[in-house]
Amino acid sequence: MIFLADRLSAPAFGSTLDVYLLRRFVGAFCATLAVVILLHLMGDVFGRVDNLMGNDATLSNAVQFFLYRLPLMISRSIGFAALFAAFLSLGALARRNELVAVGACGISLHRITVPLLLASFAISAGTFLWNETTVPLATRQAKFVYDVKVRNAQLQSVFHNRQIWIRSGDSFIRADDFDAEAGRLRGLSIYRTTPRFTLTGLIESPAALWDGNRWVPEGGTEWRFLEDGTVERHSLGGRLALNERPDDFRVFTRSPDEFSYAELKERIQDLRRKGVDTLRDTVNLHTKVAVPLAIPITILLAMALAVKPGRKDSIALDLALSAAIGFSYWVLLGFCVSLGKAGAIQPWMAAWLPNMVMGSLSLFLYAGSE
């Protein structure tokens, strides 16, 4: 039990009480994070083992792939680990009647939660920096190992933040962007050449959609450069002469996890200059900031529930409440993001509305928890 010689109403931050609380919180956070990452890794291994074995992946390539996947797993596990650690550390105080002893010394329950709340903001900032630096690089490498070394996809393209280039026979295909979910190429150009790379034709289309069997252009023009120096111009019909399938482009697309905030912002600005729709990318951009900031919001809710008078402490109950809060947030986020990408609500609202809802609930419960 915490021993306090004097009755203190508001000890200065950094006191023995704060150090004690932080040590318990950090210990629980590290232990929970390790367990959650291990469970996440096991689920990922079992979920991909058939694909890896089906492609005759070597043990070295498989290990390499999962090692590169670890930073993303850590990023996705931090929020739950911090949430459960808050329940666990405060629940331990209640179980040992230490909350009663602290209250008897005149220290409010709100003051007890201050060091944990500050720690949650530090975790939030660290998560954002982790997502900006390590996660994009490692996720790109994991994708490269899986697509090229495991699935043996042929690298006939160079993908930059700005464009996709693919060589197909005697043609070169350039696209500003490929929406893998919708199966749509945007900002498409096809350069027809001879074996000596003499340009014989050019096809340009603002977009082309895969209908399951072929590419259907959404408008566009075809130029043919004849040997006598003349140029023929035709409007594109209902079919595009393109042999590649969506999987050929999907290899070189990048998920939001493969971009840092700065890279994604630069990509959006470049696509907007070219007149390409950036709604989905804009939603993902706001989400990159909103999700890390949800950590202190959900922890505030956990603290409000953990110090509720008369609450029976149980590790099973702590785990259930942590799972319920985390699941509720991700369901709400997924729903709002879907609305945002469909254009039903503004991109910023799609990312921040779950934080607003959870934040309002957390503040309401926290204010009445004393």
Predicted confidence (pLDDT) per residue in 194-206, tens digit: 877 788 888 888 8
Q: In this predicted structure, what is the pLDDT of residue 131?
A: 95
pLDDT of res. 59: 86
312-321's contacts with Cβ under 8 Å and 24+ in sequence apart are 313/91, 313/92, 313/94, 313/95, 314/91, 315/88, 315/91, 318/84, 318/87, 318/88, 318/91, 319/84, 319/87, 321/87
Residue 7 pLDDT: 41
Measure the N-to-C terminal CA separation of the chain; round to a whole number of Å: 21
Low-confidence ranges of the chain (pLDDT < 50): 1-9, 159, 161
Cα torsion angle, 104, 106, 110, 114, sign = negative
Structure tokens at 116: 């944990």
pTM of the model: 0.77
Residues 39-60 pLDDT 10s: 999 999 888 888 888 877 788 8
- The per-residue pLDDT for 366 is 79
